[in-house]
Amino acid sequence: MFQLAEIRHMVRIPPWLFGQTLNDAVIEELNRKLANKVVLNVGLGIALFDVTSLGDSYIFPGDGASHTRVTFRYVVFRPFMEEILEGVIKAADADGMQVSLGFYDDVYIRRDSMMTNSRYDETERSWVWDYKIEDDLHHLFLDIGERIRFRVVAEQFTDTTPAGPNLAEGENTVADRKEGKVPYIIYGAINDQGLGLVSWWTSNSAGQEEEEEMEEVEVGEMS
């Protein structure tokens, strides 16, 4: 789920922070710059891991602040492809579901990545899986707030730097927040055994039925 990104950056420390040690000032400045921000094609910054090298500090003419070249490693959130993650269902509509991980909300499960025989129920405003086993039809609801396990199938980074006045017309007609202005989107899928609501697969009595019947592989008996 988390990776280390090695980054090199020229850190600017304003004069009023010269009272702190260089190390502390640099760490604070890097966290201020990268925490909770998406770096394009790298991931969502979480926290500084360590500083690998600290260059000399220079003061340039016209600016009282010191500039230091720092090489450091930063913890970023970027799940790899096919990774299994667990989150909480946050919203659902006819196109799919949105899953939240608490610190990161933009996981979308599109309708075609869900189990076959799932449908969106307008009255309940949630997705339902019509699971049929030996003439017995179960309606399994994917309610909001439920813990769900999904597989990461795609990720999309969008550059959200503000466009100039010329580019803003026509080119970036983003009607939908989902596919447009979100800097980092993860697409998930739940169309496989073991995916979907966690409660379907844990070994309590209700879940047990699902496991015994759905497993083609082996192990009839779950103890």
Partner 1 sequence: MEVVNSKGAVLSNYEVLRLLQEVCHQGTKGKRNITQTQTHLASIAFDTLKYLEKTQCKSQSSEIIQRFLEAVKQFKLTKAEKLQLINLRPTTPVEMQLIIEESEDRLTEEQVEELISLVELHLPDPTASQMVNGQVTNQ
CB of 101 to partner 1, least distance (A): 6
Q: Does 16 bind partner 1 (CB under 8 A)?
A: no
- What character string, x for contact with partner 1 (CB under 8 A) and - otherwise, covers 19-38? -----x---x--xx--xxx-
Q: In whole angstroms, how close is the CB of 75 to partner 1 at the nearest point?
A: 6
Query: Can you tell me which of 13, 26, 38, 39 binds partner 1, judged by CB under 8 A?
Result: 39
Q: For partner 1, which stretch binds (CB under 8 A), given 68-76, 106-114, 125-133, 175-183?
A: 68-76
CA distances from 105 to 16, 29, 89, 135 (A): 36, 26, 10, 38
Strands 43-59 and 84-93: unpaired
Asked if 80 touches partner 1 (CB under 8 A), the answer is yes
- Residue 74 or 120: the one with the smaller Cβ distance to partner 1 is 74
Name the one range near partner 1 by CB under 8 A: 107-115, 124-132, 152-160, 214-222: 214-222
Nearer to partner 1, 44 or 142 (CB): 44
54 binds partner 1 (CB under 8 A): no
Cα(160)–Cα(116) distance, integer angstroms: 35
Instruction: Determine phi and psi for 219, rounding to 5 degrees.
Output: 50, 80
**What six digits make up the tokens of 135?**
């003439």
| Whether 88 contacts 148, CB under 8 Å | yes
Site residues for partner 1, 153-182, by CB under 8 A, read: none
One residue of 95, 110, 191, 194 binding partner 1 per CB under 8 A: 194
From the list 145, 150, 139, the residue with the least C-alpha distance to 92 is 145
Closer to partner 1 by CB, 120 or 189: give it: 189
Q: In whole angstroms, how far apart are CA 216 and each of 30, 87, 125, 129, 194?
A: 51, 26, 32, 19, 12
Rounded to 5 degrees, what are φ and ψ at 35? -65, 135
Paired sense of beta strands 38-39 and 118-121, if any: unpaired
Residue pair 78/152 in contact by the 8 Å Cβ criterion:
no
Contact between 102 and partner 1 per CB under 8 A? yes
Chain residues that interact with partner 1, rule: CB under 8 A: 1-10, 24, 28, 31-32, 35-37, 39, 41-47, 49, 71, 73, 75, 77, 80, 82-84, 86, 101-103, 151, 192-195, 201, 203, 211, 214-215, 217-219, 222
